[in-house]
C-alpha cells in the first residue's frame, strides 16, 4: 500500500499526447507543485518554461528523447539529450534502439546507450526504455541483461505509445535484473491496484500520464 505522498514521490508525470498545449503544461506544473511530484515530463519545447516555473519546488523536470522507437542515429540522440540537459532537464528518458535489440545487434545497442550517458554526464539519471509491448518474453530478458552491463541508471518499460506494460512484463524484468538496476514502469498504468502490485514486484518509479495520475491520486485520497 502507498499513500498519496509516497505515490507522488515515485511519479514521473507525463504530458506527451500530440495535442498538449501551453495551457495543459501550465496546469501540469501547478498540479505537480501542489502534490510534490518527483518529476514531470512535458512537451520538449516547453522544457525551459517548466524549469523556470518549477524553480524552488521539489519537482524535477525530465525530458523524453527519441520516441517512439529509438531509431535516431546515436550521435543525434546524444546531441539531443545533451541539448535537453542544457535547457534544464534533470532526467533523460531515452528509447533503446528497438531494431538493434530485435536484430541482436547488442554491441551497437550498448554503444547507443553509453554514448547518450556520456553526453549528459554522470549526475543526470538516464532511464532507458525497452518498449516491452513490442518485445517477446525472451527479448525482454535480453534487453534487461543488456541494460545491466551499460551505463543506464534505470530500465524503463515503455513509452505508452505501442501498448501497455503488464504485470508479467514487470515480473520478467525483475526476475532478470534481481535488483541490479532500478525499474521504472510506464505505459497504461491507470489505477492504484496496479501501482501496488508493480511496487511489490520491485518497481521504484512510475511514468504515468497526467490524466491517469490525477485519477489515481483521487482514488488514494478517498
How many structural domains does the chain have?
1
Instruction: Note whether 37 and 8 are within 8 A (CB).
Output: yes
Q: 37 by DSSP, 3-state: which?
A: coil
Share of the chain above pLDDT 90, in %: 95
* Mean pLDDT calculated for residue range 49-77: 94
Helix-helix angle 22-35:210-221, to 10 degrees: 30
Give whole-number Cα distances, 114 to 2, 35, 109, 196, 214, in Å.
34, 34, 9, 32, 35
Name the pLDDT band for 1 (thresholds 50, 70, 90): confident
Distance CA 52, CA 135 (A): 38
pLDDT tens, position by position, 136-153 = 999 999 999 999 999 999
Neighbours of 181 (CB within 10 A): 18
The grid cell for 18 is 500530440
Locate cell 523524453: which residue?
Answer: 64
| Residue 182, domain CATH | 3.20.20.70
Give me the domain span that covers residue 171.
4-221
Residue 169 has pLDDT above 90, yes or no: yes
* Mean pLDDT calculated for residue range 25-43: 97
Enclosing H/E stretch for 95: strand 91-95
Catalytic residues: 93, 156, 184
Instruction: Note whether 200 and 18 are within 8 A (CB).
Output: no
Residue 67, pLDDT score = 84
More confident site: 17 or 220: 220
Locate cell 491517469: which residue?
Answer: 212
Instruction: Note whether 174 and 139 are within 8 A (CB).
Output: no
Please tell me the pTM assigned to this model: 0.96
Residue 73 has pLDDT above 90, yes or no: yes
pLDDT tens, position by position, 74-121 = 999 999 999 999 999 999 999 999 999 999 999 999 999 999 999 999
Amino acid at each position: 500500500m502507498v499513500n498519496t505522498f509516497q505515490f507522488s514521490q515515485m511519479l514521473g508525470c507525463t504530458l506527451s499526447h500530440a495535442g498538449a498545449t501551453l495551457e495543459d503544461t501550465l496546469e501540469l506544473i501547478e498540479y505537480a507543485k501542489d502534490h510534490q511530484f518527483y518529476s514531470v515530463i512535458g512537451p520538449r519545447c516547453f522544457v525551459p518554461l517548466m524549469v523556470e516555473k518549477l524553480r524552488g519546488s521539489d519537482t524535477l523536470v525530465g525530458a523524453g528523447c527519441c520516441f517512439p522507437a529509438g531509431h535516431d542515429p546515436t550521435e543525434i540522440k546524444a546531441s539531443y539529450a545533451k541539448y535537453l540537459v542544457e535547457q534544464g532537464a534533470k532526467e533523460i528518458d531515452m528509447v533503446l534502439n528497438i531494431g538493434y535489440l530485435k536484430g541482436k545487434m547488442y554491441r551497437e545497442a550498448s554503444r547507443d546507450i553509453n554514448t547518450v550517458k556520456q553526453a549528459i554526464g554522470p549526475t543526470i539519471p538516464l532511464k532507458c526504455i525497452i518498449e516491452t509491448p513490442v518485445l517477446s518474453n525472451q527479448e525482454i530478458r535480453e534487453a534487461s541483461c543488456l541494460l545491466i552491463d551499460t551505463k543506464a541508471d534505470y530500465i524503463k518499460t515503455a513509452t505508452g505509445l505501442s501498448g501497455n506494460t503488464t504485470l508479467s512484463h514487470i515480473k520478467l524484468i525483475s526476475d532478470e535484473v534481481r535488483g541490479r538496476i532500478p525499474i521504472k514502469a510506464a505505459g497504461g498504468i491507470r489505477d492504484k491496484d496496479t501501482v501496488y502490485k508493480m511496487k511489490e514486484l520491485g518497481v521504484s518509479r512510475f511514468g504515468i500520464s497526467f490524466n491517469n495520475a490525477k485519477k489515481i491520486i483521487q482514488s488514494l485520497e478517498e
